[in-house]
């Protein structure tokens, strides 16, 4: 397939960026979106032009690095899919594809399509730790956990911290991300010891880093590649209210 790409090019966070047009021909529909960008970069390098900078690591939908808007949607048009797992067969011959980085104050552009998502690392670090016995592993039934609680915790733990929720939210809210991290541990007895301090510290740091408040539009859930539910935001609010009582 032949494609026209409108890609955001920006030298660094202090420079003004702009869209630049590129044309690719005979792209295999079965190649991934990042492989398509690899092909573009090979052509640019062969012409002694600067390649497009974009973030990636695992290319297996696990690391959450590929923080790219595609035609106005975080991670592109496919549901429950990261950019690295998006294939070109989702597009048509002759399409124009607009490619740009996350747009959020807390995710400043490093260069081109790469953004600084270290604010998420700061939020995780602020969440602290859990108190567990690090000696011999206890028997499986020593700390019984209700099945529904275990399932809810595992679903929350599926969050890969990609930032699509922030990119999709008009307030650049990180509440789905923080809610998933809070829900994961708050649902289990191992996480209850530091629960009060954890939720207060993470919410305070979320505000300090410039993330906005939840808009209740649900865009975060729709665009999340791992299907994290807004029920985690409800759990976050409940845990925060409990911590203030």
Mean pLDDT of 81-108: 95
For residue 139 the two structure tokens come to: 């028997």
Does domain 119-244 sit in CATH 3.40.190.10? no
Task: Please report where in the chains the tokens 């016995």 appear, as a residue.
Answer: 133
Q: Where are the alpha helices (DSSP H) in the chain?
A: 33-46, 118-126, 147-157, 164-168, 175-186, 195-208, 219-223, 231-244
Q: Is the pLDDT of residue 190 over 90?
A: no
- Whether the model clears a pTM of 0.75, i.e. scores above it, the answer is yes
For residue 122 the two structure tokens come to: 């700061």
At 15 the pLDDT is: 92
For domain 3-111, give the CATH number: 3.10.20.30
Could you tell me what percent of the chain has a pLDDT over 70? 98
Mean pLDDT of 61-65: 91
Return d(Cα 139, Cα 134) in angstroms, integer: 13
Mean pLDDT of 133-146: 73
Domain ranges of the chain: 3-111, 119-244
CA-angle at 168, arms to 59 and 204, nearest 5°: 100
Q: Is the pLDDT of residue 143 over 80?
A: no
At 140 the pLDDT is: 60
Mean pLDDT of 154-160: 95
Task: Give CA separation, 1 vs 9, 24, 25, 29, 218, in Å.
Answer: 24, 8, 6, 7, 34
At 141 the pLDDT is: 64
For 15-33, the pLDDT digits (tens) are 999 999 999 999 999 999 9
For residue 186 the two structure tokens come to: 């708050």
């Amino acid at each position: 397939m032949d494609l026209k790409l409108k890609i955001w090019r920006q030298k660094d966070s202090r420079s003004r960026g702009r869209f630049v047009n590129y044309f690719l021909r005979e792209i295999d529909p079965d190649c991934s979106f990042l492989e398509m960008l690899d092909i573009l970069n090979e052509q640019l390098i062969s012409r002694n032009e600067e390649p497009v900078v974009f973030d990636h690591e695992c290319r297996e939908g696990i690391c959450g690095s590929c923080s790219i808007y595609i035609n106005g949607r975080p991670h592109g048009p496919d549901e429950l899919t990261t950019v690295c797992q998006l294939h070109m067969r989702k597009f048509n011959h002759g399409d124009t594809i607009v490619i740009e980085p996350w747009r959020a104050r807390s995710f400043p552009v490093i260069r081109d399509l790469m953004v600084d998502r270290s604010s998420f690392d700061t939020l995780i670090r602020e969440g602290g730790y859990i108190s567990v016995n690090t000696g011999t592993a206890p028997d499986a039934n020593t700390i019984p956990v209700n099945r529904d609680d275990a399932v809810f915790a595992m679903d929350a733990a599926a969050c890969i911290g990609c930032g699509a929720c922030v990119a999709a939210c008009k307030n650049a809210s990180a509440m789905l991300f923080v809610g998933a991290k809070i829900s994961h541990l708050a649902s289990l007895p191992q996480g209850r010891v530091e629960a009060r301090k954890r939720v207060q510290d993470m919410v305070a740091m979320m505000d300090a880093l410039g993330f906005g408040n939840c808009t209740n539009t649900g865009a975060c859930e729709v665009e999340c590649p791992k299907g994290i539910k807004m029920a985690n935001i409800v759990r976050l609010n409940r845990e925060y209210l409990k911590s203030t009582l």
